[in-house]
Amino acid sequence: MIGSIVIVIADLEQSLRGGDMGIATVNPTTLETIQSFAPLSADQIHAKLALADEAFQSYRQVDFAERSQWLLRAAELLEDPNHRQYYAALMTLEMGKPIQEALGEVKKCAWVCRYYAEQAPAFLANQSVATDAQSSWVCYQPLGIILAVMPWNFPFWQVFRFAAPALMAGNVGVLKHASNVPQCALAIEKIFLEAGFPTGVFQTLLISAQQVEKVVQDPRVKAATLTGSEPAGASLAAIAGRQIKKTVLELGGSDPFIVLESADLEAAVTTAVKARMLNTGQSCIAAKRFIVVDEIADQFIQKFIAAFADLSVGDPMQAHTEIGPLATTAILEELEQQVQTAITHGAQILTGGQRWNGLPGNFYLPTIVAEITADNPIYYQECFGPVALVFRVPDLATAVKLANDSPFGLGASAWTTDPQEHDYLITQLDAGAVFINGMVKSDPRLPFGGIKRSGYGRELGLQGIHEFVNIKTVWVK
């Protein structure tokens, strides 16, 4: 299966030239380099942007019905059982996601395509506003080429949640995907083409991070969105800012997961494990800081440790695997360093705290870290892997204070059956989303994004499709 993925994709794509400039498929389970890809030259980038610009001039005239048909066809391609298996295996090959989760991710991509195919006409319909004019209204028009810089952790989902609304709004997209998922990037381009979108409406640019600057500066590119780390987001926003181009940034997070005395403890523990371990802990909205009130802390921590120890670590291609390798060796080394530094600053390891050596890849054991004081570097850091930080607090107010004591503000989950505590948590937590008695998750129907250093702007929902449009005011007398 893996071999056929590599051969088929490689045969189909002309831009693969076998060079090694850091864009490569490296299997994180075996550390084997499967294939390297030469980055596009300046001339090739220029040609692709010219094609995108030309495509935009006609694509912007295409009506919603036709755009919807193409997006629904993309959903069908994703849902086809053979395709779905193929795309899922490609993700698992390139970044190590457990295969069951990869299959779920492909399904979710189909969902977001269907959602915007159905909802976009209403979201982008003209809105009448009564003024001193004979008639006045607001209409939504596309901007042109939008650059999407995307991360490897959800290699399909991150792209589809950008592309579905952007293309429905009449924009065209160019994708700079993470350097370790080039075959996913090429497969996604192919899906849009096979679905019927005209050539040039969605293109993958196999380029390095350093080449992004030139693309942003190109006058044909009208706006950019980046999902990834803070340094990458800050760099892109600075370049775009100098060009007066809009950006949306979806950056890191260190989401709190607050458990109060009245919580359903079994449900809280089960969800806590899932919320921390999804994608082997490499999710921006993973719960990362577990803040538990003293009354139930002993019980919670005991159950949490037992559940971590039960998780099945191993080959992510196997259906029963729950924890796969980290996507790259650099991520593994950084995580390992974070935990070691935490220990030297007085933290205690309750379980894990070391690599797993059952296979040669980038494996790290599910780990729980406790006794973390505010002067411990890990207190303010994001841990991008299977490492949970546990804090004990005396009461609700202290829990919220600790939760907000973070540079990030992406999501927050809190567990209590007390309605007054719900109100307090919803109003006091500094985050882009608050989930009560549930795990923070993205949903095409709800806006998604953060505050503070987690970024700005929103994806998904009504708000997401309005990010990259000209909100045009019309006044007629």
Which residues, 257 to 286, sit near ligand NAP by CB under 6 A?
284
| Helix, strand, or coil (residue 446) | coil
Q: Which stretch binds ligand NAP (CB under 6 A): 56-64, 112-120, 149-157, 366-374?
A: 149-157
Among 13, 250, 322, 421, binds ligand NAP (CB under 6 A): 250
Q: How far is the CB of 457 from ligand NAP (least distance, A)?
A: 10
Q: Does 153 bind ligand NAP (CB under 6 A)?
A: yes
Q: Does 447 bind ligand NAP (CB under 6 A)?
A: no
Cα 215 from Cα 49, distance rounded (Å): 8
Nearer to ligand NAP, 383 or 396 (CB): 383
Q: Which stretch binds ligand NAP (CB under 6 A): 186-194, 248-256, 315-323, 371-379?
A: 248-256
Q: Does 384 bind ligand NAP (CB under 6 A)?
A: yes
Catalytic-role residue among 250, 336, 421, 467:
250
Nearer to ligand NAP, 195 or 232 (CB): 232
Q: What letter does residue 348 receive in the DSSP assignment?
A: E
Q: Does 248 bind ligand NAP (CB under 6 A)?
A: no
Q: Which stretch binds ligand NAP (CB under 6 A): 37-45, 173-181, 263-271, 357-365?
A: 173-181
Q: How far is CA 269 from the centre of its chain?
A: 24
Q: What single-letter amino acid sits at 452?
A: K
Q: Which residues contact 301 (CB under 8 A, 6 or more apart)?
A: 292, 350, 368, 370, 390
For every residue of 289-322, DSSP letters joined together read EEEEEHHHHHHHHHHHHHHHHH--BS-TTSTT-S
Cα 99 from Cα 97, distance rounded (Å): 6
> Contact 70/196 with Cβ under 8 angstroms?
yes
**Residue 250 falls in the annotated catalytic set:** yes
What Å distances lie between residue 446 and 112, 148, 432, 443, 464, CA to CA?
Answer: 11, 20, 11, 5, 9
Q: Which stretch binds ligand NAP (CB under 6 A): 35-43, 250-258, 313-321, 395-403?
A: 250-258
Among 437, 332, 306, smallest CA distance to 387 is for 332
Residue with tokens 């990010």: 467
Residue number closest to ligand NAP, CB atom: 228
Q: Does 170 bind ligand NAP (CB under 6 A)?
A: no
Among 427, 390, 150, smallest CA distance to 287 is for 390
φ and ψ of 350, to 5 deg: -90, -25
Catalytic-role residue among 109, 113, 184, 284:
284
Q: How far is the CB of 290 from ligand NAP (least distance, A)?
A: 18
Nearer to ligand NAP, 184 or 372 (CB): 184
Question: For residue 344, what are its two tokens?
Answer: 């030297």
Nearer to ligand NAP, 232 or 326 (CB): 232
Contact residues: ligand NAP, CB under 6 A: 149-153, 176-179, 208-209, 212, 226-229, 232, 235-236, 250-253, 284, 382, 384, 410, 450, 455
Known catalytic residues?
250, 284
